Structure 1
Amino acid sequence: MTLDNVLARIDDDLETATNRLMELLRIQSISTDPAYKADCDKAADWLVADLRTIGVDAAKRPTPGHPMVVGHVGEENSNVPHVLFYGHYDVQPVDPLDLWDNPPFEPQLEETPNGTVIRGRGSSDDKGQLMTFVEACRAWKEVHGSLPCRITFFFEGEEESGSPSLIPFMEEHAEELKADIALICDTSMVSRGVPSIASQLRGMLKDEFTIIGPRIDLHSGHYGGPGLNPLREISRIIDSFYDQDSGRVAVEGFYEGVHEVPADQLRQWQNCGFDESEYLNSVGYSQAHGEKAYSTLEQQWARPTLEVNGLWGGYNGAGSKTVLPSEAHCKITCRLVGDMDPDALREKIRAHVAAQLSPDAKVVWDQDLEGSPASVMNISRPEFEAARGALSDEWNREAVFCGMGGSIPIAGFFKSVLGMDAMLVGYANDDDAIHSPNEKYDLKSFHKGIRSWARILDALTKG
């Protein structure tokens, strides 16, 4: 029997597979709200039972928070590849509820100008994507009687609430979870109908500082002029972060560890169907405002940033209060790429601020340090090109190695905790409204996602 038989079974069983997904979507597995703890348990139980129907030795594993689902199929010490597939069964809260057109946990099929969609919380992030892999395995098992390789299934229930149990669980069960490569389906396509493999994810650095001037708020009639105003001081410091002509960050050493994008990847990005005008205009921009020497996609995927996320101080109530405030506050984040070191970068930024301080101004930094490096995938591994070929065949369009502007910590954890490379393949679209009211997942994405995983499993096995 051939791959064609598996693809035919997927096509024939699409309605049944969609109904199974609807069952899972009805479970209100909101991980961040303790009121839904029983629902998270119910979702884990549902997945365990479903995996067992396709011959997977699956179990619900306890954690201090919501349970993990872990399952295994295939013989150890065999000559076939061993892959780990990761997804998460928890979902975001549904607020504001009044903006939903239909109840968020009563999923339904809906016709739209872009085709049929599955509407409901978790349909795209991440239950629908998770089930594309499970359904591919189901079809393969029904046709061949067994799966083509060793597979470890690893489903988390706390991804949407900070994953507090994830690293301890991975460390405790490291030997059980290790595989040749991890597969993650929690991403989107770069453009509608363009199959995509994420080759790099930006990291994150967060920090916060307070500029302190006088010991108390001062009357602006008495001290306006001779007095140092922390709001003016912090505004001047923020301005010094940037070179206005080039759009570059002006902090000394900021770009250490940043690498240029290889020419072959740039070619893929330039031909991936990304509509810059639509991307910018959809949020009210007329042009990109980052580094002028780089395209919008490069700015989003492959260049680091230093952003001001919050700025406050002084009087913010109704009317006016004529004071020079004693303090001014700023929250910043940096998106990191390449080999940028978040700890080293934090020190560079803090040194930059200290060098800018005026006499009588002092800075106090937040002590809750948070930072993670970028994740750069090893696309030289043969699995990546095998998967790219499989995706290209399914979508009848060259698949691209793309970047991602955000962060998916699990990809880095697989490397740092388990020593595994990860490959991220997702079928979501940018208009899926994940985390928002009226979340949806295109039925085409669900259907072709299942077919895509079947092709990828076939390619990985033959490779």
Structure 2
Amino acid sequence: MSDIAPVLDQLDRSIDQSLERLFHLLRIKSISTDPAFAGDCRKAAEWLVEDLKTIGFDASVRDTAGHPMVVAHHDGEGPHVLFYGHYDVQPVDPLNLWDNDPFDPSVKEIEPGRKAIVGRGSSDDKGQLMTFVEACRAYKGIHGKLPCKITILFEGEEESGSPSLRPFLEENREELSADYALVCDTAMWDPETPAVCVGLRGLVGEEITIKAADRDLHSGFFGGAAANPITVLARILGDLHDENGRVTVPGFYEGVEETPADILKSWEGLGETTENFLGPIGLSKLFGEKDRSALELVWARPTAEVNGITGGYTGEGFKTVIPAEASAKVSFRLVHKQDPDKIRAAFRQFVEERLPDDCRVEFHPHGGSPAFQLDYDMPLVTKAQGALSDEWPKPAVAIAMGGSIPIAGEFRRMLDMETLLVGFGLQDDRIHSPNEKYDLNSFHRGQRSWVRILDALSST
């Protein structure tokens, strides 16, 4: 019998008690974006502190300019890991679309043989973070110690932009530094296939406003003679891609690497097709770079997307004007070693070089962060894959994600450590939507998975 076998047995025996603890946390209305729930956010932080103390963590609530952080430490043998999660949740609107009170969690059978925990925060991220806490509880209860030295950081503002996180990391750099970080805010490939996320795309956001005349003009009096900012803007945006779907901004692909052939082959083995990927949203053809699969396009290739355009008269009826200005919001998803500052500067130059006489441009930045990428064969990844494969019906896969989780990059830049991203959410968890849920199997086997991962990381 291995050291973890009795721990896994303990998790099996105590599933009802772990559910009740999760339900207690889910009942707390920790909506970070609404000031009316500031007291609930603190209540959630305080509940977590008291719960961690029962396991033997030295835990405390740490005040910030916004909602508090939870920081906890526990000595242990082996490497030092920092586990990150967030206790805040999204607003519940529209409330009328919920089948039940979003803060009255329950377990429901959502289809024959499949049960789920239903309630706001069940998957994002309270259920996820509690899988790790329960793993620590069971391990400590059986062995009287933990397999690693563990620091825990729970944030209360992730759903509202994390305004306090960077200053907090800066102020507490020495205390929070570890050998590597663990984050449980991602998803499995499918209900039977666990995943380690090794890549996250970065992001650059930029708003551009093209201006011409000093006021809106009558299109009959001035049409054909005066510059039209909407026309100018449309031409610039149309130049962003070539006929093969590649972004035309000079230097855009600097730092973009080709995905290893064996990784591409493993992605092909996941069975994702263009029809499966696009069909549910009413589309049938891939639109990006040619001769690349859907998964490669969203996991490993950079993008330029126009997210919104405004200008002229957009109300009911018709108004024949040449507008004085027109604006667009443009975002770039970055991969590998692309530099957000260089991308922003290159895009601005790209726009300025296409401005005709009598037009000028204003730029408004909307954040920027680099991509996050781990080596596919690094020990941190392979150990986690092996541990997950021992727990779930199918072997763990290394995947990437098209979105961004800035905390992974912050840990690398500010605390000089890599991040292992392992989560047990599913695509149908309805996070940020009414009737959010977390599969009971995800909650239970997620706990068992963290025991296996911690054990694997503690071994030499």
For Structure 1 versus Structure 2, the TM-score category normalised by the shorter chain is: over 0.9
Q: How many pairs does the alignment contain?
A: 458
Q: Distance in 1 between matches of 2:291 and 2:256?
A: 15
**1:30 is matched with which residue?**
31
**1:437 is matched with which residue?**
434
Percent sequence identity over aligned pairs: 55
**1:152 is matched with which residue?**
151
396, 400, 405: which one aligns with 1:403: 400
Q: Does the Cα contact within 8 Å between 2:431 and 2:437 map onto a contact in 1?
A: yes
**1:384 is matched with which residue?**
381
SS at match of 1:38: helix
Q: Does the Cα contact within 8 Å between 1:191 and 1:272 map onto a contact in 2?
A: no
Q: Distance in 2 between matches of 1:419 and 1:246?
A: 38
**2:208 is matched with which residue?**
209
**CA-CA distance at 1:63 after TM superposition:** 1.1
Q: Give CA-to-partner distance per residue, 1:25-60, whole Å, 9 cap, x none.
A: 000001111111111111011111111111111111
Q: Distance in 2 between matches of 1:275 and 1:438?
A: 28
**2:247 is matched with which residue?**
249
**CA-CA distance at 1:359 after TM superposition:** 2.5
Q: Give CA-to-partner distance per residue, 1:352-407, whole Å, 9 cap, x none.
A: 112222222222212x4521111112444322211110001111312111111011
Q: Distance in 2 between matches of 1:141 and 1:172?
A: 30
Q: Distance in 1 between matches of 2:298 and 2:225?
A: 43
Q: Distance in 1 between matches of 2:358 and 2:55?
A: 70
Q: Does the Cα contact within 8 Å between 2:210 and 2:361 map onto a contact in 1?
A: yes
**1:199 is matched with which residue?**
198
**1:458 is matched with which residue?**
455
**CA-CA distance at 1:428 after TM superposition:** 0.3
Q: Does 1:66 align with 2:64?
A: no
**CA-CA distance at 1:165 after TM superposition:** 1.1
Q: Does 1:7 align with 2:8?
A: yes
TM-score (norm 1): 0.96
RMSD, aligned CA: 1.4
**1:232 is matched with which residue?**
231
Q: Does 1:268 align with 2:259?
A: no
After TM superposition, the structure 1 stretch with the greater mean CA deviation from structure 2, 303-312 or 356-365, is 356-365
SS at match of 1:396: coil
Q: Does 1:370 align with 2:371?
A: no
**1:338 is matched with which residue?**
336
Q: Distance in 2 between matches of 1:328 and 1:102?
A: 44
Q: Which runs of 5+ in 1 are unaligned?
A: none
After TM superposition, the structure 1 stretch with the greater mean CA deviation from structure 2, 294-303 or 218-227, is 218-227
**CA-CA distance at 1:192 after TM superposition:** 3.0
Q: Distance in 2 between matches of 1:275 and 1:109?
A: 33
Q: Give CA-to-partner distance per residue, 1:273-303, whole Å, 9 cap, x none.
A: 4354233122221122111121100110111
Q: Distance in 1 between matches of 2:86 and 2:424?
A: 15
**CA-CA distance at 1:266 after TM superposition:** 1.4
**CA-CA distance at 1:173 after TM superposition:** 1.2
| Letter in structure 2 aligned against 1:321 | K
Q: Does 1:40 align with 2:41?
A: yes
87, 99, 105: which one aligns with 1:89: 87
**1:306 is matched with which residue?**
304
Q: Give CA-to-partner distance per residue, 1:46-103, whole Å, 9 cap, x none.
A: 111111111111111111111111111115xx5x111111101000111111111111
**CA-CA distance at 1:13 after TM superposition:** 1.0
**CA-CA distance at 1:113 after TM superposition:** 2.2
Q: Give CA-to-partner distance per residue, 1:102-142, whole Å, 9 cap, x none.
A: 11101111111271011100000000000000111111112
Q: Which runs of 5+ in 2 are unaligned?
A: none
Q: Distance in 1 between matches of 2:293 and 2:119?
A: 35
| Letter in structure 2 aligned against 1:64 | A
**CA-CA distance at 1:328 after TM superposition:** 0.8
